[in-house]
Structure 1
């Protein structure tokens, strides 16, 4: 849901060759686009016969890849992709892919799990596809967040980024995404080629759509994957309450995120058995056309296609306002709202951050989630960013996130629940040293071009998109 991050694309491309040389990107022979297969056409994504009998997190296949910025400039790291067994909402076995980046100076006792906000129900938007040299860059958010991943690589962390929406790219179902993250961590921890220690330490993170996956991974981990050596979770701009997020997005510049979520929740790996027949019954011809288009388009196209429209329009679905109150819809929404069950509370230090003026995800819902977790004994640091909007906050918070990650690995986070408010709206380009200055300079430029509290995105979102695509 970090739509306005696309504003960073042009900025990241300006001077990118010089930037990548600073962080050790090496030239490589050009790769023709047609040599990189989309997930639906790539045999690697298909699990072998009998895979369902394997334990969740089992590696089913592996390969080396050449990772690249925006599909164009190779990154000088070891890069691998693992096909692994995970679990659908109904408990059946499915398989998905995680991409692993290992820097030359990798710390072998730990790694970072990074859930990117790809926010789409089209398989061509899977990050594992976007990360490959020669891949078309339809999933711009995943491409841009690779710049943030580079920070962790430069700090010596191996980073794994899973296709947590599963093989159908189901956007929205948090439980599916959470299990996808946890099983991806299992797979990476057992991947001997990396040379990691047995049962390595892990910190998981994600922002916006990526926080759906991370928040649910944190919630489910105590019961679903208790053996993992998780040291901390980081989630920002968290869509913790699906109903609240839906109402905030509806009939806005960001309403185009809702049809792919409806399509994602209706997929067979999610709630297709009960939800898909109902959705099919109430959709108008126009509504069905819009839902069908989300199966082949990434977030940017979806936003433009449903710009400032409402899912409650009778031109979209026939029930109008009553749609939200149908028992089937209510059941699905409830199952995908965080902090509603005490036994789904994170048990390791968790950093939650959110902008007061977040125009995409309601601040009040994140605050309510934190309060519930704290009442149930969780260890949560909750930071409110008083300046900035949805996209800018992911950038502004980077230094605090990095500090939390370091403390989580060191076991020095504060115990209990703490709250603080930050007023900062800029980044210090040399805050992390000369090595990382080029990355932070790009992010400072992004903050400037987004404007105060994402003002340029909010005032002319279509213009922002068209300028950067």
Structure 2
């Protein structure tokens, strides 16, 4: 199940935020209704003639009630926006972003944080939404785009970058509703793991695709900078279930269906078709279990074997999705990249190559290496550094150039973000301890 096909549920601690607010709208304390399936919900259907609208045009909007575990209402204003964006082939599509207005907008009416949602479920989603809650508690307006577009296209970088940038345009168009009075608000984008595809490619395409946006910086962690490298890293491993999900994502209509459909229709075996069908119909956790320890480059799955990676149809697409190799697709504002050397899902070497390429291209990069922990832990360990980087980006105090540092500790400091956020950091610790058993 893709993120576009799931109703947004912000997992936050109402008890932590309620004392901060005064006179909060009563409607935001109502228990949320069960959402309609997007396939029958008219909100997700773009109106006739939307293709002619400018990029980022808001096509539909609605207020929503967000909730912790879908049950306990989270007392923040939340809105969904359906907006016009672009498919990989340049055609018009519509996507959704969810905008959250904090109860205490102490950062001023001009700053927006963009945190792409990840296509994950269970405790991982809990962890991600707790991190979003920290941004809200810091006073930022937060936008969380469904960067995979209308058909849950997981991994195609150009698509996800454009959807993310157009989501920013949509929020700029919606700014007055969430208390952003500046006509050109300052923006900071951040994403981890699959969300780092969206933030990394958003940073890469910003200068050519959305130069008018006043983006001050980007952060990305556990970044899948090279799809082939990631494939080889997890093929046949406990995390190989991501591979059928990724193949399905590349074959979606908004991605590379036109190029890839006939190839995979010809080479995929009955076993491979079953794996792709399961990944298409299951949520992430179930799909991971279905293909655990299996190989996507095995002839049991597709007749080409390892040679599939060099096929003249697939190879250019995989190359096109390597972040950092095209000088014309380099970030024009500072970026923060962080990665664990022992990342079980996304190879550290590819992140390092990305940073090296960007530095050689003149990009300002801060690169933090985590020697302890792995993919799941680094998501949380990087929170305080990302927020500090965002603060510096908004204040204009980031140091230009390339810097690299290494962190050895994998423990969480509950006071790292201030005493008021200690309850959230404690909750992150609990979620993180549970999550480590999944990888």
When the two structures are superposed, what TM-score results if normalisation uses the length of structure 2?
A: 0.92
Q: Displacement of 1:144 after TM fit?
A: 3.4
Tell me the number of residue pairs that the alignment of Structure 1 and Structure 2 aligns.
Answer: 421
Contact (CA 8 Å) 1:266, 1:272: kept in 2 or not? yes
User: Alignment partner for residue 187 of structure 1, among 161, 170, 173?
Assistant: 170
Distance 1:143 1:225 in 2: 32
User: Alignment partner for residue 168 of structure 1, among 144, 151, 162?
Assistant: 151
Q: Deviations over 1:355-382 (max 9, x none)?
A: 0111111101100111111111100000
Distance 2:155 2:61 in 1: 27
Q: What residue in structure 2 maps to residue 73 of structure 1?
A: 72
Distance 2:172 2:248 in 1: 32
Contact (CA 8 Å) 1:22, 1:435: kept in 2 or not? no
Q: Deviations over 1:125-170 (max 9, x none)?
A: xxxxxxxxxxxxx566444311100001011000000011000110
Distance 1:313 1:88 in 2: 31
Q: What residue in structure 2 maps to residue 432 of structure 1?
A: 417
Q: Deviations over 1:48-74 (max 9, x none)?
A: 000000111111110000011221111
Contact (CA 8 Å) 2:14, 2:73: kept in 1 or not? no
Contact (CA 8 Å) 2:145, 2:167: kept in 1 or not? yes
Structure 2, gaps ≥5 residues long: 1-10
Structure 1, gaps ≥5 residues long: 1-11, 120-137, 459-469
2:406 counterpart SS class = strand
Q: What residue in structure 2 maps to residue 92 of structure 1?
A: 91
Distance 1:43 1:144 in 2: 30
Q: Deviations over 1:430-463 (max 9, x none)?
A: 222232111001122344455xxx4x444xxxxx
Q: Displacement of 1:424 after TM fit?
A: 2.0
Q: Displacement of 1:425 after TM fit?
A: 1.3
Distance 2:157 2:20 in 1: 34
2:297 counterpart SS class = coil
Q: What residue in structure 1 maps to residue 310 of structure 2?
A: 325
User: Alignment partner for residue 200 of structure 1, among 185, 189, 198?
Assistant: 185
Say what the alpha-carbon RMSD is for the aligned residues. Answer: 1.9
Q: What residue in structure 2 maps to residue 102 of structure 1?
A: 101
Query: Residue 151 in 1 paired to residue 150 in 2?
Result: no
Which has the larger displacement, 182-191 or 144-153? 144-153
Query: Residue 393 in 1 paired to residue 378 in 2?
Result: yes
Contact (CA 8 Å) 2:230, 2:345: kept in 1 or not? yes
Within a 5 Å distance, the mapping from 1:231-242 to structure 2 comes to: 231-242=216-227
Contact (CA 8 Å) 2:30, 2:73: kept in 1 or not? no
Q: Displacement of 1:397 after TM fit?
A: 1.3
Q: Displacement of 1:31 after TM fit?
A: 4.1
Contact (CA 8 Å) 1:241, 1:337: kept in 2 or not? yes
Q: What residue in structure 1 maps to residue 60 of structure 2?
A: 61
Q: What residue in structure 2 maps to residue 125 of structure 1?
A: none
Query: Residue 249 in 1 paired to residue 248 in 2?
Result: no
Contact (CA 8 Å) 2:327, 2:361: kept in 1 or not? yes
Residue 17 and residue 112 in structure 1: after superposition, are their counterparts in 2 closer, same or farther (change >3 A)?
closer
Contact (CA 8 Å) 2:32, 2:66: kept in 1 or not? no
Contact (CA 8 Å) 1:114, 1:162: kept in 2 or not? yes
User: Alignment partner for residue 330 of structure 2, among 325, 345, 348?
Assistant: 345
Contact (CA 8 Å) 2:14, 2:75: kept in 1 or not? no
1:98 counterpart SS class = strand
When the two structures are superposed, what TM-score results if normalisation uses the length of structure 1?
A: 0.86
Distance 2:189 2:403 in 1: 20
